[in-house]
Structure 1
Amino acid sequence: MDWSPPRRLRTDEIPATVNNFRLAARNAIEAAGFDGVEIHGANGYLLDQFMKDQVNDRTDKYGGSLENRCRFPLEMVEAVVNEIGADKLINKFGILYLHVIVPRMIKINDKYETPHSLLPMRNAFKGTFIAAGGYNGDDANPDLPRRFQLNAPLNKYNRDTFYIPDPVL
């Protein structure tokens, strides 16, 4: 299989990429018969790469400030909404929910432009808000290794005891 090493999108390639998202959304609705679409912008994929200050080192209008780093994802969302309608985008953009995660790997000496608090996003988005991550082994399962060692039963989850280190809700 032929392949080329990954490279930064040229600025002049971004409109075509936005158009590809638009066409994919239209095909999902019209050709495949989907009721709606979900835009997945996380986990190191393209949209996430643009938004992360640790990855996006661009010097054009798509890099630098948080506003610039969000420009491509927002252009794409706007194109999708204009193509299929906000009611089909699973608020102005018809966003059904926002699912965010706290970075899983943070080095002690790393410095970030933006803090890792989810509170600003919670304040900006009033819809359903799903937050995950930011745990360490002790927070998430303080006695799990011991339970495995003793072959002890696992507890059923209790939503009232779920822990999140960021006061989002």
Structure 2
Amino acid sequence: MNRCGHVARRLDGYGPAHLRVVEPGVRGNDDIAAVASAVSAKDLRRVFKGTLIAAGGFTADSAHRMIEAADADLVALGRLFISNPDLPERLRAGAPLNRYDRSTFYGGDARGYTDYLFHSAAPVM
């Protein structure tokens, strides 16, 4: 296993609260083509037995598949939460999701954080 696997194995021995892994296909704020040599939560699950959190471009379906396969214990849905303040309710109801506007991420003001509508407040089309 590569250096990441070695580090994950060593960390596992210390019993940290969790290990968060950003999946290949995401670099910073950008979606990129997955790199074959990149390390994923699935790879690290083999050596890290503590709580493993996968992040990076997940949809509701891909998050469910990750959990069902036991490749991670939790899945972070950061961008979806930013644009859907009621994300758990939307996912439970199968409601449509707001699209996020990456240009507003971490921009220093409230735009893009407090102006997304809750599903119950969205206009009916």
Q: TM-score range by the shorter chain?
A: 0.3 to 0.5
Q: Decide which structure has the larger Cα Rg and report it.
A: 1
Greater per-residue strand proportion? 2
Give the structure, 1 or 2, with the largest relative contact order (CA under 8 Å, sep 6 or more): 2
Q: TM-score, normalised by structure 1?
A: 0.31
Greater per-residue helix proportion? 1
